[in-house]
Amino acid sequence: MDRTTTEWNFSLNVRAGILTVVLLALFVGLWEGLNRAPILGGGGAELSEYEQLLAGADETARVPPPSEIAVRAWEQLSDPFYDAGPNDKGIGIQLGYSLFRVLTGYFAAALIAIPIGFLVGMSPLAYKALNPFIQVLRPISPLAWMPLALFIIRDAQASAIFVIFICSIWPMLLNTAFGVAGVRQDWVNVARTHELSPLKTAFQVILPAAAPTILTGMRISIGIAWLVIVAAEMLVGGTGIGYYVWNEWNNLDLTSVIFSILLIGVVGMLLDLGLGAVAKLVAYQE
């Protein structure tokens, strides 16, 4: 690669970065500007009687401006783990509950989905026998399971985990099956001509060959799980980032609502980045 190309790449990244910052500044600036509280009393004048009656509050509720959200974010993030009773816990604790549920349900799903996906991918019989179940169960909204889960499990925490489990299982199962079924016959033949046992073939040839596809399924699953946990926690209540959003809505604290929305986005991105890093480890070039 010659020098000009390197510089071009570099400047592309820099220019993209600048554009991002400009867009962000524009968006935040407009938001801030359009959401300023009206200057009461027409600029320094005496408050009207009506304004006095409202004690300085707006006539219509406003979406809080970014500056207020930044202040709230600073407050919350500087003490994320305080616990002042059931309805007042730090954002770190709430996120911790949500992550615990997501990861527990997700890994339980991986434990079931990957072996079954392997079976379905390897055996046409298993594929044909299980496919009707998969096709019917897959399109069900995970939240539709919630009443049944609450009835059977009789525990809100475990029901939320079950909902995560049920929504994570399908992308992992289908991608594993797809990846395993698509392993090139040449590579399977290499295992056969070297007299590898079925178990060794599975672990030394099929698993590494299908790993990138499996990881794609795992990435889709973690994304869905993180989407679903917010809704699930809004339903079951008690703890978690979903409950936090809903609770702050009930408190009419929109600043906290927006702050937590942003935080949900950031955590979701980090989860995906983590799995992306794992996917890079198992990727190979044909």
Strand partners, 89: 83
Please give the C-alpha separations between residue 276 and each of 17, 80, 269, 279, 281, in angstroms, as whole numbers: 22, 27, 10, 5, 9
Q: How many residues does the chain have?
A: 286
284 contributes a contact to other proteins by CB under 8 A: yes
* Cβ atoms < 10 Å from Cβ of 223: 17
Distance of alpha carbon 121 from alpha carbon 175, whole angstroms: 9
Out of 102, 172, 205, 257, point to the residue binding other proteins (CB under 8 A).
205
209 contributes a contact to other proteins by CB under 8 A: yes
* Residue 220, both tokens: 């889709």
Q: Minimum distance from CB of 101 to other proteins (Å)?
A: 34
Stretch that binds other proteins, among 1-9, 173-181, 203-211, 251-259 (CB under 8 A): 203-211
Strands (E), the chain: none
Q: Given phi > 0 = left and psi -120 to 50 = alpha, else beta, which region is 42?
A: left
Interacting positions 8-37 with other proteins (CB under 8 A) = none
286 contributes a contact to other proteins by CB under 8 A: yes
Q: Minimum distance from CB of 112 to other proteins (Å)?
A: 26
Distance of alpha carbon 202 from alpha carbon 271, whole angstroms: 28
Q: Minimum distance from CB of 171 to other proteins (Å)?
A: 23
Stretch that binds other proteins, among 63-71, 107-115, 118-126, 182-190 (CB under 8 A): 182-190
Q: What is the CA radius of gyration of the chain?
A: 26
Stretch that binds other proteins, among 11-19, 32-40, 89-97, 189-197 (CB under 8 A): 189-197
Binding positions for other proteins, rule: CB under 8 A: 186-187, 189-190, 192-196, 204-205, 208-209, 211, 282, 284-286
